[in-house]
Amino acid sequence: MNPSAVSRPVALRRLALVALATATVGFALAQDPAPQPTVPQPAAPQPAAPPASEALSEAMPVPPPPAVAGTAWLLMDDASGQVLASHNPDQRVEPASITKVLTSYVIAAEMKAGKVKADDQVMMTENAWRKGGAGTDGSYSGFPVNQTAPLLEMEKGMVVQSGNDAAIALAEHVAGSEDAFAALMNAYAKRIGMTHSHFVNAHGLSDPNHYSTPRDLALLGRAMARDFPVEYGYNAIKEFTVGPITQRNRNLLLWRDPSVDGIKTGHHSGAGYCLLASAKRGDQRLVSVVMGSTSEAQRATDSLALLNWGFRFHETHRLYEANTAISTQKVWKGQENEVQLGVAAPLLVTLPRGKYAQLKPSMDLPKVLVAPIAKGQELGKVRVTLDGEVVAERPLVALQAVEEAGFFKRLWHEFLMWWNAD
């Protein structure tokens, strides 16, 4: 058989299309040359040279985290949100007075929105005094019943002294009632990403419908430090005085380590001894959560051990800045022939010290990108692996819009896409 006879239909089809394309090529080339098909290239962050002090640790494996005497615990890097170590991180727990961190968050958010002010006069109502005052078994601030105090002072009484009475009074002032304030708490918790939590009061006393998880509480501490650093700073105050009563902050770590600047203790019979702690050393901040510990001293000892282990053996790197081009890819049928791709938020990764050079970043993109493309449109993913495991993954988005080209250019590109097809 003549081999040319077999290929003649294909050849005729190509000739016909060439004739059609030739009729429009002048118009198309006058607009822009056609892009050539490209294979997605791997992203390549440049590893930073490790400090000389880390030279010995590069060859050393990371030891296991310290033992913790708690029912559930977690250690998280603040910048990346990566969990460095945990035990039962998603177990439902009673947050006790750690609840007051969310109460502070709600107050700060409502203040930022202009709904309350730092110098508002907050009434210590009889309801707040009876439920959380000195006559109860819980911690209290000591503000006199049926008298007012500035909101800022009342909040510090809640944060430093862990005053249940102050928490109730603040909830009533901000939202009108405890129930209405609890609804605000749940709304803000959802925004933070606390997907396995539910709150029914502002102080944290035991209730079957009042719960959280170590992971959610770490996200709360991270959000408080990030979104409201001034209000977060109240957690580092070591003592606070109301009238004749001076009370110390119950977070023992404030006296043990100067890098610790919060966050909140908690305790009651159902929750055990709990501590949401955070420390910043250099540019790195870590958040630890210890729930259901056996004593005030033990929760502090275990929390500091976790923080020390995290800082000693882990580091955080910023791989890509937000809205900065990671890659430039070809675009078909567009007014522009290229589009820049990047990440919408900074991509950070936390990993064992000395491992940065071993990161393997790559991109997952479609073989062909076709206009129109909207600014911010997700077009693929950037993925970073270490020792075969994914340590970070983010969507790749278009950093600018690419509008659809005119008729003749689209026709010309349609032909070229067919011609180059497999």
Written in H, E and C, the secondary structure of 349-410 is EEEECCCHHHCEEEEECCCCCECCECCCCEEEEEEEEECCEEEEEEEEEECCCECECCHHHH
Distance CA 99, CA 209 (A): 13
Written in H, E and C, the secondary structure of 192-241 is HCCCCCECCCCCCCCCCCCEECHHHHHHHHHHHHHHCHHHHHHHHCCEEE
Query: Pick the catalytic residue: 100, 131, 264, 355?
Result: 100
Q: Which residues pair with 159 in a beta bridge?
A: none
Degrees, nearest 5: CA angle 25-31-33? 70
Does residue 373 have a cis bond before it (omega within 30 degrees)?
A: no
Active site residue 97: yes
In DSSP notation, 48-110 reads: PPPPGGGTTGGGSPPPPPPP--SSEEEEEETTT--EEEEESTT--B--GGGHHHHHHHHHHHH
From the list 189, 232, 181, the residue with the least C-alpha distance to 213 is 189
Query: Pick the catalytic residue: 80, 97, 139, 197?
Result: 97
The alpha-helical segments, DSSP class H, found in 113-177 are 126-132, 151-161, 164-175
Which helix H or strand E contains 287, and what residues bound it? strand 284-293
Query: Pick the catalytic residue: 162, 197, 288, 327?
Result: 162
Distance CA 299, CA 250 (A): 11
Active site residue 238: no
Active site residue 4: no
* CA separation, residue 135 to residues 98, 149, 334 (Å): 22, 20, 73
Give the residue numbers annotated as catalytic, written as ranges.
97, 100, 162
